[in-house]
Structure 1
């Protein structure tokens, strides 16, 4: 008699998905097109991912910035055809905060070869960088010891 698999219990090796640490959009979201088109796509995606209406996002951004942001503005920012309407940095910051879509930060960072990770990982990254520097110094030390040889005695 074969044992049936318990469908209510996750298999650690088959079902476990580690959490995504870096904030990134799926590759096809910002693929192809000019930078204007890519920006419009990711803005549109961020608003969709939030689950909020654009009207609600505009209202929350207006409150966040203490200035008027309209649904029409958001539509223009998210339209690849509207090249005359660009989102400002302060509005982008508000959009990230209001939508909780940190993938927007990842999108910006990728242009410089960086990734956006939550602040709680900063010390882990710092520790890794320190250990890498120490390992590099140890390699340099061993190389110099090899060159100097008997001069230290």
Structure 2
């Protein structure tokens, strides 16, 4: 009987780290905008609860952050698709702060086909864009040089 190596990781099991903030399409991607907002808030509250933070704690943290009262009832309304009252932008920011559910950050940019990424990746993105531009310029220079060689050859014949 062969014993399985438990010390070596399987390379095929590796998944790249998540670098883009946001929820899956089923949470925030379909339906009316107010429903998508509610589902996004509900998902953040659920994930925070699974991480050990109650709605009462979240409401208290948001209240401190905003300098005004946020109640559990307000959280319940903001996370209900049936409610007509939606979360305000400042409360949305306070919710991110209170829950540390940074996938919330991806909600607005995703509506416009943008993404939110951690600041640590900014320089890598700029580097990639600079390399793309450099490659474009190299192709441009190569074309100019080829055109000049062709013109030079025609002029000599």
TM bracket, shorter-chain basis: 0.7 to 0.9
- Judged with a 3 Å threshold, the aligned counterparts in structure 2 of structure 1 residues 152 and 127 are, in CA distance, closer, same or farther, namely farther
SS in structure 1 of the partner of residue 11 of structure 2: coil
1:150 CA displacement: 5.7
Shift in Å, 1:41: 0.3
Match of 2:18 in 1: 20
CA, structure 1 residues 142+53, in 2 after alignment: closer, same or farther (shift >3 Å)? same
In structure 2, the residue matched to 1:9 is: 7
1:34 alignment counterpart: 32
Consecutive aligned runs of 4 or more in structure 1 exceeding 4 Å deviation:
150-153
- From 43, 46, 69, the counterpart of 2:44: 46
Q: Secondary structure at the match of 1:23?
A: coil
Structure 2 CA distance for aligned equivalents of residues 10 and 72 of structure 1: 49
Stretch of structure 1 that moved more, 139-148 or 106-115: 139-148
8 Å CA contact 1:61–1:69 kept in 2: the answer is yes
Matches within 5 A, 1:90-105: 90-105=90-105
Cα contact 1:23–1:106 (8 A) shared by 2: yes
Name the counterpart of 1:65.
66
Matched residue of 2:10: which SS? coil
Whether contact under 8 Å (1:40, 1:77) holds in the other structure is yes
Gaps of 5+ in 2: none
Deviation at 1:121, TM superposition (A): 0.7
Residue in 1 aligned with 2:115? 115
Alignment size in residue pairs: 150
**Counterparts of 2:152 and 2:121, CA distance in 1:** 42
TM-score between the two structures when normalised by the length of structure 1: 0.88
* Distance (whole Å) between structure 2 residues aligned to residue 9 and residue 115 of structure 1: 37
Pick which of 95-104 and 9-18 moved more: 9-18
Moved more, 19-28 or 37-46: 19-28
> For the residues of structure 1 that align with 2:32 and 2:41, how far apart are their CA atoms?
14
> Greater Rg, structure 1 or structure 2?
2
**How big is the shift at 1:28?**
1.8
Q: CA deviation at 1:90?
A: 1.1
